A and B are shown apart, each in its own frame.
Chain A
């Protein structure tokens, strides 16, 4: 075990834990943002530099501070380590710089982007960015492509987090897409028109932190904050079958994996809850699924607007969706809580 202090909060974590995961165990605002790290994907992280933190004391044994900010997602804690995240103003400035870099070539087309409302770059810009850009040059552009029949690739929005490449490497044997070229013209591409077809490839959409990879079956159907997430499952021989259905009225517009508070797929029985293309794209009727109830949505998210769920311990209704839809519900203590907190 190693004791680590982040922004003055101390926690003991198993050896080998990264600073980022230690911060997540503490929770709250000591947690640095992470755009490229994904706990279920091996070797992910280290690229985006948004999770940089300052190590003011290396360890009990070697108390020297680290000379440069380090990527918290790829640096393991040492016993006695002291870390600054929100408490270091120069680090906040550096992070704002990284956010600016990520945005200078981003099209900022949130009004027409399907990811808006659940976009990590949007959140990051809101929390750590500046209101104005100082970039006055032409932004780089790439043509849009369909990679396979389900996924739209919009490289303009891509921040090169490599998550989708790692999904392909680790979940979909026979990877056909990757990062081509280099520098600021590096792009996610199949190079020649190869379709991404593996039955687990839809997970690339779930791991994409921005709107670079979007679900073609959901494209332009609705804004996510007008849809209502409901957890559901079915028995599937290819994946865990535990999903989130996104309803508009009676209609399931979209199926995704269930995500946790860090935007990563939830773990079921110790395994990441990736879902297969069949569950994701081909089962969009309520009758395909066993409904569990409204999904937990953090009040932080824009999707929590107009969204209700049962508070822990409250009696569940056996008519889950239909009767909730469109009805005004009287709120009171112990009743339905819109804030989920």
Chain B
């Protein structure tokens, strides 16, 4: 792990302060989940104990309160992840319409099983519970974006794009324009 100093830049700090100001006096803990999202995006896509301690100090709460929350919610990664975290919905309609095939495809073609990260550190595959996209099943989420009505060809095209792009993807990214 890197020993670099963990701190937000002044612009992000300003954003954090703005979020804290939404809540009544003394209720700054309310900002915890939004700030953890920002921290995860900023510090390599996962929440190390150091990052969580930093967030605790920003919100003036005990570090354990941050660990409790971060470990509760499935969108927070407590271990290092690849640049693109691919989250395939595995519930209900997605599952009825082929989510298992999508997951199997990642294993066969890209050698990544759920919970694993590719050797080049580019991709992490996760299976997740219902993402509210049942009418456009099967689907997956990468960063802020939903990719719906998946076919295996579509998955391959997306993978090529992510690879070429090579950038880290976060939930807080500006989403791609969607076809309405």
List chain A positions with a Cβ less than 8 A from chain B. 174-182, 190-192, 194
Contact = CB atoms under 8 A, between A and B. Distances in A.
B71 A191 contact: yes
Contacts of A177: 64
A178 B49 contact: no
A181 B72 contact: yes
A178 B65 contact: yes
A179 to B, nearest CB: 6
Nearest to B65: A178
B49 A192 contact: yes
A312 B65 CA distance: 49
B72 A182 contact: yes
Given A181-B72, A182-B72, A191 B67 contact: yes
A180 B71 contact: yes
B10 to A, nearest CB: 29
| Chain B: number of interface residues, binned into ranges | under 10
B62 interface: yes
Nearest to B68: A178
Contacts of B72: 180-182
A179 B68 contact: yes
Interface in B52-85: 62-65, 67-68, 71-72
B67 A180 contact: yes
Contacts of A175: 62, 64-65
A174 B67 contact: no
B71 A190 contact: no
Given A181-B71, A182-B72, A191 B49 contact: yes
B71 A194 contact: no
Instruction: State the 6 A-B residue pairs at the shortest beta-carbon distance, nearest first.
Output: A191-B67, A180-B71, A178-B68, A178-B64, A181-B71, A192-B49
Contacts of A190: 64
Contacts of A192: 49, 67
Interface of B: 49, 62-65, 67-68, 71-72
Nearest to B74: A182
Given A191-B49, A192-B49, A180 B62 contact: no
B62 A174 contact: yes
B49 A180 contact: no
A176 B62 contact: yes
13 contacts: A174-B62, A175-B62, A175-B64, A176-B63, A176-B64, A178-B67, A180-B68, A180-B72, A181-B72, A182-B71, A190-B64, A191-B64, A192-B67
A174 B68 CA distance: 14
Nearest to A185: B71
Nearest to A179: B68
Nearest to A189: B67
Contacts of A179: 68
B57 to A, nearest CB: 14
Indicate the member of B49, B62, B68 with the most A CB atoms within 10 Å.
B68
Indicate the member of B62, B64, B65 with the most A CB atoms within 10 Å.
B64
Contacts of A178: 64-65, 67-68
Contacts of B67: 178, 180, 191-192
Nearest to A192: B49
B26 to A, nearest CB: 16
Nearest to A177: B64
Contacts of A182: 71-72
Given A177-B64, A179-B68, 19 more contacts: A174-B62, A175-B62, A176-B62, A176-B64, A178-B64, A178-B65, A178-B67, A180-B67, A180-B68, A180-B72, A181-B71, A181-B72, A182-B72, A191-B49, A191-B64, A191-B67, A192-B67, A194-B63, A194-B64
Contacts of B62: 174-176
Nearest to B67: A191
A182 B129 CA distance: 15
B46 to A, nearest CB: 14
Contacts of A174: 62
Nearest to B48: A192
Nearest to A174: B62
A178 B65 CA distance: 8
A176 B56 CA distance: 12
B6 to A, nearest CB: 15
A222 to B, nearest CB: 34
A192 B63 CA distance: 10
B35 to A, nearest CB: 18
A21 B67 CA distance: 35
Contacts of A180: 67-68, 71-72
A109 to B, nearest CB: 26
